[in-house]
Structure 1
């Protein structure tokens, strides 16, 4: 996990102070949207207005909150409490926790199925995935996977959930109908992040120790290595599938990977070593990056690839989800 120094200034597409949360002219505003970020060491969740980039609420969110997911209708947010073996459920209408769901030990990553009915929770110290029925907020089944699972991503059709197992260097491919692991794909030394392309043909996997992102063919398991910066901790795919984005802890960068060539086509600097870009969320409007060491959220214009806003958050911002 990243431990860093204060973030220094970086290039912006609009004129604003580095310590300001709001740029002069926000781009690609999202009407009514919210950005949710867990602050791991503060035990809180920051709620950010996606139009103004202002923090509108800071909510107590359990012990050591990490992974976070928001429902399609935007009414609820699921928060993995890695220190409490629970998932907290936030009602976004009043920004209050309405219930908690017991899961396995050290829940880290969470993934909501495309149909919105199931939440998959990677329990890092239990080597399991808990499946929560989103309609009842009850665990419906528990699936054994590899060692130290940390992240979950779904195929677009929802038939397969891919779980990155950092301790066993593999992806567990779970059949979501049978709730069983169908296949295990080798994926480097320490896979910590996974994202699936819109066509479902490729899984991009961040290999933190290997300093690479692997493009893994989901049908054959064939992997193509893409060298990025030190300590890639998360990976995300743009909505059109043309680019993958890697958060590289060591350099303080985001690597932009062309998915057609599997090569880094650009690098976005977010700050010096110690900034610790940690987790990513990519929408049509923006690339959002949590910076664990700097205690900030960076908002990047996906077209110009310039930073358009810096939002000050709590201590060790970790997971991110956008409504």
Structure 2
């Protein structure tokens, strides 16, 4: 984070007769089945960028920290279609599986705002700890875990009531959270403590801590739960940590890695590197950087990542933009102007 607005390190700021009728019906069903199969096979052969352009129903949400807004982007056209109020200093964001609601961490008001995506209005404000920054929705959609950087806690929000149902003490300056694929475990990046707190979601208690570098500001977990990738902002490394043993391998990326995300197939991890303005592509098998993707010159400040089968989305805090990347070709498909100091990104 090299812009003045970056805040993670300070903790401030996831469509004839009966016989003839039967024959016609069966033929119809067969044709529909065949058509669907052809369509599925066509989709499977499309490159991810084509799928992103084809999926006009999808929305991308970007929090604009300085504007107190969320930009709503059509994933098919990569155009901003709305800008809506999102609470005070919005940072982390998560969207429910049905796309109906956004959960937005308001670092300036110690609240999580709940946005109805249809009406584009805030329908609830949930009090949490001080300076909520990162948050994540559980795989079953029943809970949102929120890292409260100024309170050294994680709040657990029940999505059925939109109320905080638990508060879990963790390490100093927790900034980011990530679930294991089965939802049984949450990993919390404690930037002030240099470790990860590991929370059992059944008991809602910390069961152990894992060493995670000097200033872990983001964490992502492979879907098999075997590895956690941690962005250590002080320096040039992403740590690949074996969750069972706690052993880690340091992967050299660009200066100031600020976020990390994992591809849906667990084969790649991506690091947003503030200093050089690029994304490092890490092979999770070899723990080596296999490519870099440039999103702009120094000062662009690639900040947060969201990775889908169809696209890689990167918020650029210094440039006030969202970069859309084709994960197959690793080429930039679009650069979208959003609000001031874009922070979090979520795809519905």
TM-score, with normalisation over the residues of structure 2? Answer: 0.86
CA contact (8 A) 2:56 2:77 kept: no
Q: Which residue of 2 aligns with 1:77?
A: 102
2:289 to 261, 264, 268: 264
Q: Which residue of 2 aligns with 1:210?
A: 235
CA contact (8 A) 2:313 2:324 kept: yes
CA contact (8 A) 1:246 1:256 kept: yes
Task: Give deviations 1:209-233, integer Å, cap 9, x for gaps.
Answer: 0320000000000000001001000
The DSSP-based 3-state class of the residue aligned with 2:50 is coil
Separation (CA, whole Å) in 1 of partners of 2:208 and 2:325: 36
Q: Where do residues 164-203 of structure 1 align in structure 2 (5 Å cutoff)?
A: 164-203=189-228
CA positional deviation for 1:2: 4.0
Separation (CA, whole Å) in 2 of partners of 1:226 and 1:101: 38
2:68 to 40, 43, 46: 43
Separation (CA, whole Å) in 1 of partners of 2:184 and 2:293: 34
Q: Which residue of 2 aligns with 1:66?
A: 91
CA positional deviation for 1:72: 0.6
Q: Which residue of 2 aligns with 1:253?
A: 278
2:51 to 25, 28, 31: 28
Q: Which residue of 2 aligns with 1:133?
A: 158
Q: Where do residues 286-297 of structure 1 align in structure 2 (5 Å cutoff)?
A: 286-297=311-322
Separation (CA, whole Å) in 2 of partners of 1:226 and 1:239: 20
Q: Which residue of 1 aligns with 2:77?
A: 52
Separation (CA, whole Å) in 1 of partners of 2:341 and 2:50: 26
Separation (CA, whole Å) in 2 of partners of 1:178 and 1:210: 35
2:331 to 302, 306, 313: 306
What is the aligned length? 302
CA positional deviation for 1:94: 1.2
The DSSP-based 3-state class of the residue aligned with 1:28 is helix
Task: Give deviations 1:83-142, integer Å, cap 9, x for gaps.
Answer: 000000000111111110010000000010000000000000000000000000000000
CA contact (8 A) 1:293 1:316 kept: yes
Task: Give deviations 1:224-271, integer Å, cap 9, x for gaps.
Answer: 000100100000000011100000000000000000000000000111
Structure 1 portions without partners, runs of 5+: 5-25
Q: Which residue of 2 aligns with 1:15?
A: none
Q: Where do residues 86-101 of structure 1 align in structure 2 (5 Å cutoff)?
A: 86-101=111-126
Mark the structure with the bigger radius of gyration.
Answer: 2
Q: Which residue of 2 aligns with 1:3?
A: 3
CA positional deviation for 1:28: 2.0
- Verify: 1:229 aligned to 2:284, yes or no: no
Separation (CA, whole Å) in 2 of partners of 1:307 and 1:184: 38
Higher relative contact order (CA 8 A, sep 6+): 1
TM-score, with normalisation over the residues of structure 1? Answer: 0.92
Runs ≥4 in structure 1, deviation > 4 angstroms? Answer: none
Q: Which residue of 2 aligns with 1:16?
A: none
